[in-house]
Amino acid sequence: MADPLVDVRNLGVRLVTGQRETSLVDDVSFTVARGEVLCIVGESGCGKTITARSIMGLNRNDRRFSLSGQILFQGRDLMALSDAEMRGIRGTGIGMIFQDPMTSLNPLHRIGRQIGEGMRLHMKLSEAEIRERTLLLLAQVGIPNPRTRIDDYPHQFSGGMRQRAMIALALACSPALLIADEPTTALDVTTQKQILTLIARLKDTYGMGLILITHDLGIVAEIADRIMVMYAGQCVEVGPVRSVFRSPRHPYTAGLLASMPAANRGRTERLPSIRGTPPLLAEGRPQGCAFQPRCDFAFDRCAAMPLLSADDAGEGHLDRCWLPSGRLAQRDAAGEMRR
Ligand SMILES: Nc1ncnc2c1ncn2[C@@H]1O[C@H](COP(=O)(O)OP(=O)(O)OP(=O)(O)O)[C@@H](O)[C@H]1O
Ligand SMILES: [Mg+2]
């Protein structure tokens, strides 16, 4: 197999406050190839954004965070790069779309100028060429009348249009990897769907790898090649989306899937949800399996932390659970997962 575009190995992020250090992200490993979509899911606070920001090198100079492991991008270890080299990677190698477009768009500058900024810094283009490419990008992300909108300010755009402008900005220098962190949370359902479809289409146009962080398992089912489920800062299950959806191995994954509307068509009662809440990582990850306090399948072995299991079928479906593979499916078939 060709080298992956990005290869994250044993990523750890620790939060340092005074004398105290707590682990926010622990031993997270995954790869994304060109053209591939990896979706990262998990409840709020499980470390999705910190993982994405670490790949972008956005917390590398923040003293509160101490990072370990390796982030290989096109074979280079991003953690070993200088700040200037990392800025170059952020400009041209990896693009990121954030949840709130206003974190990336400056309200004081015209949209077109902001989209052109990366090109001005990183590409050898004339001003006329930058403007032409900006118009093309605006058209590609579905902004009507780019020639009249290019000189608008962000406040003249609707929420959906601002998010489209952010996508144009992230794509300006044709990155090889796009990271989208819940890019549609602030939008209405119809616009959400349009934006996600747009991102998936542009992924193909540009031949990029895509890491999409989302709460929407329906979207995952539609566009992901692989899924990584995070819990309490750890990867608890990762694999091809079909395999994980068909036979989840971690009770947390099974719980998330059971709460998916599409999996419960025709049910009129409230959808099942996972009891309890995730641990607050700043207070320390619980001993042993972090999901144990919420798990209906916990047994004595769960007092020790399980490692990501080896995968029998060789398709890269791994889980961090002591239950023997297949146990969950048997219990689920017997109806024991349904509460
Ligand atoms: N700057 C920070 N200082 C201290 N703790 C932080 C900081 N940023 C994040 N955390 C903690 O790290 C953990 C993971 O946060 P993160 O933002 O990655 O979660 P998330 O999975 O993206 O959640 P959400 O779905 O709500 O976006 C949380 O417990 C959070 O409180
Ligand atoms: Mg987040």
Tokens of 253: 């994954």
DSSP code string of 156-204 = GS-HHHHHHHHHHHHHTT--SEEEEESTTTTS-HHHHHHHHHHHHHHHH
Number of domains in the chain: 2
Measured distance CA(52)–CA(49) in Å, rounded: 5
Measured distance CA(266)–CA(259) in Å, rounded: 13
In a domain, 209, yes or no: yes
- How many whole angstroms from 106 Cα to the centroid of ligand 1? 24
pLDDT tens digits, one per residue of 196-238: 989 999 999 999 999 999 988 999 999 999 999 999 999 999 9
Residue 193 banded pLDDT, cuts 50, 70, 90: confident
User: Closest Cα partner for 209 from 185, 240, 177?
Assistant: 177
Beta strands 94-97 and 177-181 are parallel
Lowest mean pLDDT across 59-63, 177-181, 188-192, 201-205: 188-192
Same domain, 147 and 272: no
Lowest mean pLDDT across 48-52, 228-232, 324-328: 324-328
Q: Is 52 in the pocket of ligand 1 (CB under 6 A)?
A: no
Q: Which residues of 310-328 are buried (b: 16+ CB within 10 A; e: fewer)?
A: ebeeeeebbbbbbbeeeeb
Closest atom of ligand 1 relative to the 42 alpha carbon: 21
Closest atom of ligand 1 relative to the 280 alpha carbon: 29
Lowest mean pLDDT across 142-151, 258-267, 269-278: 258-267
Q: How many residues in total does the chain contain?
A: 339
Residue 339 banded pLDDT, cuts 50, 70, 90: very low
pLDDT of residue 99: 82
- How many whole angstroms from 122 Cα to the centroid of ligand 1? 31
Same domain, 177 and 277: no
Please identify, among 224, 243, 260, the residue that sits at the C-terminal boundary of a domain.
224
Mean confidence (pLDDT) of the chain: 90
What is the DSSP secondary structure assignment for residue 73, as one 8-state letter? E
Model pTM score: 0.92
Same domain, 18 and 46: yes
Q: Is 281 in the pocket of ligand 1 (CB under 6 A)?
A: yes
The answer to whether 206 and 246 have CB atoms below 8 angstroms apart is no
- How many whole angstroms from 268 Cα to the centroid of ligand 2? 31
Probe residue for ligand 1, chosen from 49, 60, 211 as the CB with the greatest number of ligand atoms within 8 Å: 49
Residue with tokens 């599409």: 262
pLDDT of residue 19: 86
Q: Is 154 in the pocket of ligand 1 (CB under 6 A)?
A: no
* Residue span of the structural domain in which 308 resides: 230-333
Tokens of 34: 């060109």
In a domain, 269, yes or no: yes
Tokens of 128: 């006329």
- Percent of the chain whose predicted confidence (pLDDT) is above 70: 92
What is the CATH number for 52?
3.40.50.300
Neighbours of ion ligand 2 (CB under 5 A): 48-49
Please identify, among 170, 192, 224, the residue that sits at the C-terminal boundary of a domain.
224
At residue 20, what is the residue type? Answer: R
In a domain, 1, yes or no: no
pLDDT tens digits, one per residue of 61-72: 898 999 999 999
In a domain, 339, yes or no: no
Tokens of 263: 């999996």
pLDDT greater than 70 at residue 320: yes
Kindly list the strands in the beta sheet with 37-41, ordered across the sheet, starting from the edge strand earlier in the chain.
94-97, 177-181, 209-213, 37-41, 226-231, 234-240, 318-319
Please identify, among 170, 201, 224, the residue that sits at the C-terminal boundary of a domain.
224
pLDDT greater than 70 at residue 268: no
Minimum CA distance residue for ligand 1 atom 18: 47
Q: Is 111 in the pocket of ligand 1 (CB under 6 A)?
A: no
The answer to whether 327 and 296 have CB atoms below 8 angstroms apart is no
Which residues neighbour 200 within 8 Å (Cβ) at sequence distance 6 or greater?
A: 37, 210, 222, 223
Measured distance CA(4)–CA(74) in Å, rounded: 7
- How many whole angstroms from 216 Cα to the centroid of ligand 2? 13
Tell me the torsion sign for CA atoms 172, 78, 75, 227: negative
In a domain, 66, yes or no: yes
Same domain, 38 and 82: yes
In a domain, 338, yes or no: no
- How many whole angstroms from 278 Cα to the centroid of ligand 2? 14
Q: Is 46 in the pocket of ligand 1 (CB under 6 A)?
A: yes
